[in-house]
Structure 1
Amino acid sequence: MFHYTVETKKSIGEAIQSLEENLKEEKFGILWQFDIKDTLLKKGFEFDQDYKVLEVCNPKEAQQVLKENQLVGYFLPCKIVVYDDNGITKIGLPKPTSMIQNLDDANLSEFASDIERRLISCIDKSI
């Protein structure tokens, strides 16, 4: 499966706050938070679902992996989504290991596995 998704009893705001704290422990920061519902409404489109996309990054590791292969920039920053699915808050991410497979590089696969493990740990601690 290309993604990892969990449910939480927390609100979207509470889940994001918890995620931010747990990401900091792994030296990741939230660079940007994209509110899909708000953006679509501002453009005149109805979208009733609360859906946030967080772009997260560990600058030191981003620098390291980009030095090894600039194509990794196509996958950066990492994305974590927090959204309402019929009254249930869900948190998920596309798995870095799934995306990195396209580059067929063993060193990058190990790197992606480590990042994925750490991001999933942050998500799991946030539920």
Structure 2
Amino acid sequence: MDHGIAVTLDLPFTEAVEQVRTALAEQGFGILTEIDVRATLRAKLDEEIEDYLILGACNPPLAHRALEADRHIGLLLPCNVVVRAVDGGTLVEAMDPQLLVQVTGKPELAPVADEAATRLRAALAALTG
């Protein structure tokens, strides 16, 4: 089972992050959380990895609809979007919202997952590079 939607950009990491933020905002997603995995591993374990950022993206109307269908869905929110440096560019991966339906087994979440997936795919498709 594939867990994400991905695109590789021929852009430096910092530029890609800015494009991701803009593209998500254009699709109604705000960033609730931001985890700089590279900085955390460096500070806590003295380990080095590539630039690696996890953005917790949330579209409030979609989150509300999902919570109305299943209050436990908060365990799976927000939608994670990972931006990480790869050889020659930056990889952007978004969690596939269909996982919400698969994990919970609640078909009433399907319309919310469909819309979230459409919006995340549109955001990734809008990225250039």
TM over 0.5: yes
Are the counterparts in 1 of residues 10 and 88 from structure 2 also a CA contact under 8 Å?
Answer: no
- Does residue 73 (structure 1) correspond to residue 74 (structure 2)? The answer is yes
**Match of residue 114 from structure 1:** 115
User: 2:49 is matched by which residue type in structure 1?
Assistant: D
Report Cα offsets for 1:73-101 as digits up to 9, x if no partner: 11101100000123331000121102421
- Which 4+ residue blocks in structure 1 deviate beyond 4 angstroms? none
CA contact (8 A) 1:72 1:100 kept: no
Would the aligned equivalents of 2:62 and 2:116 in 1 still touch at CA under 8 Å?
no
Whole-Å Cα distance in 2 between the matches of residues 7 and 18 of structure 1? 13
Instruction: Quote the residue 1:18 is aligned against.
Output: 19
Aligned-partner Cα distance in 2 for 1:25–1:48: 30
**Matching of residues 1-127 of structure 1 within 5 Å:** 1-127=2-128
Equivalent pair of 2:5/2:121 in contact (CA under 8 Å): yes
Q: Percent identity?
A: 28
CA drift at 1:71: 1.8
Provide the alpha-carbon RMSD of the alignment.
1.5
Question: Alignment length, in residue pairs?
Answer: 127
Residues 2 and 98, structure 1, Cα contact 8 Å, conserved in 2: yes
Contact 1:101–1:109 at 8 Å: present in 2 too? no
* TM-score, scaled to structure 1: 0.90
Matched to 1:113, the amino acid is D
For structure 1, the 5+ residue unaligned runs are none
| Greater mean alpha carbon deviation, residues 73-82 or residues 55-64 | 55-64
AA partner of residue 26 (structure 1): Q
In structure 2, give the amino acid aligned to 1:96: P
Deviation at 1:48, TM superposition (A): 2.6
